[in-house]
Amino acid sequence: MRGDGWGEGSPNRAFIMFRLLQGKVLFFTSLSLDYFHLKHSACAKQSLLLEYTVKILKLCGLTQVRWSRYGPEYQDPQIDKEYYRKPLAQLTEEETYERELRKTQVIKAAPATKTSSVFEDPVISKFTNMMMKGGNKILARSLMTQTLEAVKRKQFEKYHAASAEEQATVERNPYTIFHQALKNCEPVIGLVPILKGGHFYQVPVPLAERRRRFLAMKWMITECREKKPRRMLMPEKLSQELLEAFCNRGPVIKRKHDMHKMAEANRALAHYRWW
Amino acid sequence: MLKGMTRLVSRVHKLDPGRFSHLGTQAPQCPVAHLDNQVPTERTRAISRTLENDPAKHGEQHVGQHYNISIQELKTVFPHGLPPRFVMQVKTFNEACLMVRKPALELLHYLKNTNFAHPAVRYVLYGEKGTGKTLSLCHIIHFCAKQDWLILHIPDAHLWVKNCRDLLQSTYNKQRFDQPLEASIWLKNFKTANERFLSQIKVQDKYVWNKRESTEKGSPLAEVVEQGIMRVRNATDAVGIVLKELKRQSSLGVFRLLVAVDGVNALWGRTTLKREDKSPITPEELALIYNLRKMVKNDWQGGAIVLTVSQTGSLFKPRKAYLPQELLGKEGFDTLDPFIPILVSNYNPKEFEGCIQYYLENNWLQHEKAHTEEGKKELLFLSNRNPGLLERLCAYL
């Protein structure tokens, strides 16, 4: 699957998120649904499986938060154009076997937002989705493209104003700037509230890759929404913030450093973590 | 056998000019000797620029190539009238390059062969959104400016029929309305574009502005323009006087007049302006539009009228309408009839390649995949070779 930097992958198990009713700690558990071999049709089987899992979870005091209508047997769609363009004669034995296997498997429907375009970028798509309000993807996408254009134009101005030696250091590709800026904003360590002895303590915890990416994007968007002057438009503010984060300065980087400092300060509570 | 050899040699010689012409104007500069090494590699890359910066010398061989306009010339010839995205592009690239295209070449050919004794011919550029009507008009204006014509350029007639904050009752005619702001801005830009003519042309009537100010007969037109810029209340009347004088005097042959109006369908449509009692105002009740309509009639000699009809910015017209009949309406079409329609369409493959090459040369396409064949094919598919769409796509790639 293209753009698989997110770690969502294609496991053959259904990941179901639970919430403890007493506390607010999130557990990740995987239930293997291979145990249910019932003599029913596929969709009835799925719905029955889900019913059983819901009942079992409610017994343990856990409720489902995010789930998928697809069962474990559904494979992710192959969107890459190069995969299909390979002539059949050039395939190795494993690849031919894999293709034959896929003909027998059920495949999920590809989401509308995933294209086989060469210009597609999963980071940009995720950021656009996070900027979207009320399902207005058209507006979010246009804001994103205007931001990239604004970043490019600013960098071109800087390039033309710089001397010959400095011109080599000026980065004009808006995509590299975007990726680097978000990477610079990612925190390394985070804080999680843990309940112990009737009090909530902020415990420093290593963050998963996707949580870090999420936090970087969330901080960037919140910063641009709340701290901008009234008449300034989002693309202008976002381009400003991205360029500052690219140079490792600016309010979002400051927030990341604040998070690190708090984690460093609460270093003694690290023992409260049990995972 | 010798005859066969000579025939072969002559055929090879006949082939050579064909190979050269693909290289555009740069070919004559390459000496013949090291041709064989250079031609194969240059043939695969499209040519995007030409060194021929004079529009009068542009021909079929320059189609798809960009020519450069210097920034000083841009400031004098185009104080207004360039599309806003083109202005941004000029600022980003630090250069103004316009593509030579077939509709503009056709118009240039007609203009070069105009008979100034005959009444002014009307040319209407029409086409779908984003095909390049305004920039073709700018190409023509640049040509006429280089040939020392007087340019009467109204950048967007739609701006005169909507969003006007201050409408005054006209001092000259009680039934009509004045638009002081729009008129004064236009007069300022007109002055920048045509400085040298304003002192030469003399006014042929006496005009009384108010109890204390008047312009005598025989004074230069620059005084009328100054009066319009200084006294904003009289700006609309100043515009009317300028138009009347220019129309009268161009027939005498002192100068050649080019009337260029972008969005001429605004003159005969509807306006969104209302009187104090909320009743709508028709275009002929606006003094600026009334005077401009007289300018667009073909009852004067010594110049040409080049017009554009556009749906962008038009009022109460469906989005897909682009033909002159649909946009001008019955009244407008009857007034403009007869005119020469010139269709401006999307890029042909050669022009598309030239445009992409121009962007690549300026490093505008920064995305790694945009340089590949796959990327180009995708851009072609997404934009359908529409110049406006292609520009917007390449802006964020």
Q: Where are the alpha helices (DSSP H) in A105-250?
A: 122-131, 137-161, 164-167, 174-185, 209-226, 234-246
Using alpha carbons, select from A6, A156, A273 the residue that is nearest to residue B93. Answer: A156
Contact A37, A72 (CB under 8 A): no
CA distance B379 to chain A (A): 10
Domain ranges of chain B: 102-341, 349-395
Interface with B, mutate which of A80, A82, A115, A119 (most B CBs under 10 A): A119
Q: What ipTM does the predicted assembly reach?
A: 0.84
Nearest to A119 among B93, B369, B395 (CB): B369
Nearest to A119 among B88, B363, B378 (CB): B378
Looking at residue A27, the DSSP 8-state letter turns out to be: E
Q: Three-class SS of residue A248?
A: coil
CB contact under 8 A, B397 and A119: yes
* A90 at B interface, C-beta within 8 A: no
Contact B273, B161 (CB under 8 A): yes
Considering just the CA atoms, what is the radius of gyration of chain B in Å? 24
Nearest to B396 among A148, A156, A172 (CB): A148
CB contact under 8 A, A152 and B395: yes
β-strand pairing of B303-308 with A199-206: unpaired
Residues 53-92, chain B: which have Cβ within 8 Å of A?
88, 92
Residues of chain B found within 8 Å of residue A160, distances taken between Cβ atoms: 94
Give the Å distances, CA to CA, from A148 to A231, B53, B89: 20, 33, 15
pLDDT number for residue B210: 85
pLDDT number for residue B365: 95
The DSSP code sequence of B5-33 is HHHHHHHHHHHHHHHHHTTGGGGGGS-ST
Instruction: Give the mean model confidence (pLDDT) for residues A12-17.
Output: 42
Contact A21, A195 (CB under 8 A): no
Using alpha carbons, select from B394, B340, B352 the residue that is nearest to residue B63. Answer: B352
Residues of chain B found within 8 Å of residue A119, distances taken between Cβ atoms: 367, 369-370, 375, 378, 397
Using alpha carbons, select from B305, B205, B199, B294 the residue that is nearest to residue B254. Answer: B199
Phi-psi region of B385 (alpha: psi -120 to 50; beta: other; left: phi over 0): left
User: A72: which 2 tokens?
Assistant: 């474990």
* A80 at B interface, C-beta within 8 A: no
Nearest to B367 among A119, A157, A160 (CB): A119
β-strand pairing of B303-308 with B121-126: parallel
Specify the DSSP element, H or E, that contains B150: strand B150-154
CATH of the structural domain B102-341, one choice from 3.40.50, 3.30.460, 3.30.1240, 3.40.30: 3.40.50
**How many contacts does A have with B, using Cβ atoms within 8 A?**
35
Using alpha carbons, select from B164, B159, B188, B186 the residue that is nearest to residue B177. Answer: B164
Considering just the CA atoms, what is the radius of gyration of chain A in Å? 23
User: A14: which 2 tokens?
Assistant: 């259904």
Window from A2-11, A136-145, B113-122 with minimum mean pLDDT: A2-11
* A153 at B interface, C-beta within 8 A: yes
* B370 at A interface, C-beta within 8 A: yes
Nearest to A145 among B93, B372, B396 (CB): B396
β-strand pairing of B207-208 with B214-215: antiparallel
User: A268: which 2 tokens?
Assistant: 């003694």
Give the Å distances, CA to CA, from A123 to A127, A129, A142, B297: 6, 10, 16, 57
Residues of chain B found within 8 Å of residue A175, distances taken between Cβ atoms: 366-367
Interface with A, mutate which of B383, B396, B397 (most A CBs under 10 A): B396
Sign of CA pseudo-dihedral B360, B366, B368, B369: negative
How many residues are present in chain B?
397
Burial-class residue B252 by CB neighbours within 10 Å (0-12, 13-18, 19+). Answer: exposed
Express each pLDDT in A234-263 by its tens digit: 999 999 999 999 999 999 999 999 999 999
CB contact under 8 A, A118 and B396: no
* B329 at A interface, C-beta within 8 A: no
The rounded distance, in Å, linking the Cα atoms of A41 and A64 is 24
Instruction: Name residue B86's beta-bridge partners.
Output: none
pLDDT beyond 60 at A171: yes
User: A108: which 2 tokens?
Assistant: 């999920």
Nearest to B396 among A118, A149, A172 (CB): A149
Contact B59, B105 (CB under 8 A): yes
Q: Which residue of B has its CA nearest to A147?
A: B396
CB contact under 8 A, B369 and A156: no
Give the Å distances, CA to CA, from B125 to A71, B57, B131, B342: 59, 21, 11, 5
Q: Three-class SS of residue B340?
A: strand
How many residues are present in chain A?
275
Phi-psi region of B338 (alpha: psi -120 to 50; beta: other; left: phi over 0): beta
pLDDT number for residue B46: 72
* B21 at A interface, C-beta within 8 A: no
The rounded distance, in Å, linking the Cα atoms of B203 and B361 is 50
Using alpha carbons, select from A126, A96, A97 the residue that is nearest to residue A217. Answer: A126
CB contact under 8 A, A149 and B395: yes
* A146 at B interface, C-beta within 8 A: yes
Residues of chain B found within 8 Å of residue A173, distances taken between Cβ atoms: 366-367
CB contact under 8 A, A156 and B92: yes
Angle subtended at Cα A145 by Cα A139 and Cα A148, rounded to the nearest 5 degrees: 140
Mean pLDDT by 10 residues, chain B (397 residues): 50 44 41 44 68 91 93 93 95 94 95 92 95 96 94 94 90 89 94 90 89 88 92 92 92 90 92 92 93 92 94 93 94 93 95 94 93 94 96 94
Q: For the CA atoms of B45, B49, B50, B56, what is the dihedral angle to 10 degrees?
A: 130
Q: For the CA atoms of B151, B181, B82, B189, what is the dihedral angle to 10 degrees?
A: 40
CA distance A241 to chain B (A): 17
Burial-class residue B263 by CB neighbours within 10 Å (0-12, 13-18, 19+). Answer: buried
